[in-house]
Structure 1
Amino acid sequence: MEDWMLAALIGIGVYILFSLIIYYFQDFFLFRPEKLPADFVFNYKDLDFEEYNLKTAEGAMINGLRFRVENPKGIVFYLKGNSKSIKGWGKYARDFVALGYEVLMVDYRGFGKSTGRRTQKTILQDLDVIYQQMQKHVNQKHIILYGRSLGSGFAAQLASKFKPKMLILEAPYYSMRSTARQFVPLLPVTLLIKFPIPTYQWLKEVECPIHIIHGTNDQLIPFSTSLQLAKVNAKRTTLHTILGGGHKNLNTFAAYHHILNLILTESFTIPVQSSEDSSKESPSAGKESSVL
């Protein structure tokens, strides 16, 4: 066999092998769950909360926490990222509780105490049922959807289907397929990715105000992603830039808490960029605020 033919066959074999690895093991790459025993007891000494369990039609169990306040202004449905469980994510409820909002957090299937087979379809179905249950007790005009990283796509889908008060996305991705292309640019990700999560498509259908919060030093999901997303539904979208912010540390910036306070107290006014560079942005790019 000619050397070039052998090299070509080896190259094709390696390409197919990597494609199969991405297809069959992508759940491992995408999700980093922390599993908790069924009898695990949550403990937040400074927060008032109660635990919920929702049994799905096919028998899965979705576990969640509701952080309570007296005379709440509304409720934030917080959709977390791809790692750990609500055991660790619960600390982020403090930001919203301090501003008078209750918070609902749930673990996706296979995270924490939640059970069941995890697919994009089942996750979206679970979140849909939870939102509908929430509607029975809270008017939609008092529901805020908050999606962080992985949860941003799920939050966008819910906002496209229902009519919450507002949608807040922290470090969102354009789609999971586009994010995958950054890491495996030569593979056919359109065919391989089981969780395409097209955030940009769902944002087109959102009718409530959209706030995007993103750090300029995000090494996992580039800030440029939010610049793209801000153009999808520009009239309803405001992009909040945190200079120097990374992917996992926005809550350590005073600017993040300042922005969140302005958004949730509805005292946010749309600032107009004054620098020459920002004035050259397309008018369809959405409104933007920049905070040091």
Structure 2
Amino acid sequence: MPYWLHIVLWVLAIYIVISVLLFYLQDYFLFKPEKLPKDFQFLYENQVVEEYNLEARDGAIINGLHFKTKNPKGVVLYLKGNSKSIKGWGKFAVDFTRLGYDVIMVDYRGFGKSIGKRSQKNIKHDLQYVYNKIRERVQEKYIILYGRSLGSGFATKLASMNHPKLLILDAPYYSLTKVTGRYMPFMPLSVILKYPMPTFKWLQYVNCPVHIIHGTNDKLIPFKSSVKLSQIKPNLTRLYPIIGGGHKNLNTFEAYHEVMEQIITENKKHIDLSTTSIGVKHSSKK
């Protein structure tokens, strides 16, 4: 056997082994769950919260929290990122309860107190089940979907299949395949990735207003991914850059909270376009 062919076969064998390992170990790399004991008590200062458990069709248990306000204007279904559990994420509910909205947060399978075999399909079914439960008590015109990082894809999928009031995406990815491809450009991720999460495809079927918030200094999910997403349904979408914001610190920026209040309260100023230059075209030299 020629020496060069021997080298090629060895490289091919290593490539295949790495691909197989990535296929079976990708959950370990993608998800950073925090597991909680069944008797763990959720406590938050100045928040009224109720814990609940829902049983999925395959017997999995989905644990969640309901942050309550007096005379709520609606409800926000908050889909969190890929780390920890709702124990830590719960402190962000105040950004919505202070504006008069109830908040529902859930832990994905394997996170917190939630149990069950995790897959993209199962998580989508779980979240639709949660959405259906909310819809039994609240009209869809009062439901806001909020997706943070990993949750942005699932929130977009839910919005594409339902009719919520708003879809808010916080640091969303174009697709999870694109994000992971930045770190493993030579691997066949389109084949082996069990969580491709094609947000860009699902967004095409969303018919409610879409608000995208993204830090311009996000190193994990580049700001340009939100720029691309905002161009899919431009008539329904508005992009809010948080100048200097990273991936995990947007809540530390005053601009983020100003944007959230503007979106949630729908505090928009009407502009009489007939008094503007909207119809004026620059002349071109011939």
TM superposition score normalised by structure 2: 0.92
Correspondence for 1:288: none
Instruction: Name the CA distance, whole Å, in 1 between partners of 2:256 and 2:213.
Output: 8
Partner amino acid, structure 2, of 1:139: Q
Deviation at 1:3, TM superposition (A): 3.0
1:63–1:201 CA distance, 2 compared to 1 (3 A) = same
- Output one character per residue of 1:89-133: Cα deviation in whole Å (capped at 9) or x when no partner: 000001111111110000000000001000011000000011011
For 2:255, the equivalent position in structure 1 comes to 255
In structure 2, the partner of 1:15 is: 15
Aligned twin of 2:245:
245
* Correspondence for 1:290: none
Structure 1 residues 270 and 206, CA gap change in structure 2 (3 angstroms):
farther
CA distance in 2, matches of 1:116, 1:54: 12
Q: Deviations over 1:41-78 (max 9, x none)?
A: 11112210100100112111000000000011111000
What amino acid maps onto 1:43 in structure 2?
L
Deviation at 1:7, TM superposition (A): 2.1
Aligned to 2:280: none
TM-score (norm 1): 0.91
Q: Percent identity?
A: 55
1:7-27 residue CA offsets vs partner (Å, 9 max, x unmatched): 212211221122112111111
Provide the rounded CA distance (Å) in 2 between the counterparts of 1:45 and 1:260: 22
Residue ranges of structure 1 left out of the alignment (5+ in a row):
272-292
**How many angstroms does 1:269 deviate by?**
5.0
Give the root-mean-square deviation of aligned CA atoms.
Answer: 1.2
In structure 2, do the counterparts of structure 1 residues 84 and 127 end up closer, same or farther at CA, with 3 Å as the change threshold? same
Q: How far off is 1:149 after superposition? A: 0.2
Q: Does 1:106 align with 2:110?
A: no
SS at the partner of 1:81? coil
Alignment partner of 1:228 is 2:260? no
Q: Which amino acid aligns with 2:255?
A: A
Letter in 2 for 1:34: E
Aligned to 2:179, what secondary structure does the other structure show? helix
Give runs of aligned pairs for residues 90-129 of structure 1, distance below 5 A. Answer: 90-129=90-129
Residue 45 of structure 1: aligned partner? 45
The 5 Å alignment of 1:124-143 reads 124-143=124-143
CA distance in 2, matches of 1:72, 1:55: 26
Deviations 1:231-255 (A, max 9, x none): 1111100000011100000000001
- Give the letter aligned to residue 109 of structure 1: R
**Distance across 2 between alignment mates of 1:210 and 1:40:** 36
Which residue identity is paired with 1:26? Q
In structure 1, give the amino acid aligned to 2:229.
L
Aligned equivalents of 2:226, 2:220: Cα separation in 1: 13
Structure 1 stretches of 4+ moved >6 Å: none
The answer for the alignment partner of 1:284 in structure 2 is none
Q: C-alpha deviations, 1:184-225, integer Å up to 9, x for none?
A: 111111101011111111111111000000011100000010
User: Aligned ranges for residues 1-292 of structure 1 at < 5 Å?
Assistant: 1-268=1-268
Q: 2:231 aligns to what SS in structure 1? A: helix
Q: Cα 1:269–1:247, aligned 2, differ >3 Å: closer, same or farther? A: farther
SS of 1:235's partner is coil
> In structure 2, what is the Cα distance between the partners aligned to 1:149 and 1:237?
18
Mapped to 2, the partners of 1:26 and 1:268 lie a distance apart of: 43
Letter in 1 for 2:154: F
Shift of 1:270: 9.2
Q: Which moved further from structure 2: 149-158 or 183-192?
A: 183-192
Q: Aligned equivalents of 1:169 and 1:127: distance in 2?
A: 16
- SS at the partner of 1:197? coil
| Local SS of the residue matching 2:127 | helix
Decide whether aligned partners of structure 1 residues 218 and 42 sit closer, same or farther in structure 2, where only a CA change above 3 A counts. same
Residue 177 of structure 1 and its aligned partner are, at CA, apart by 1.2
What secondary structure is seen at the aligned counterpart in 2 of 1:234?
Answer: coil
Distance 2:124 2:51 in 1: 21
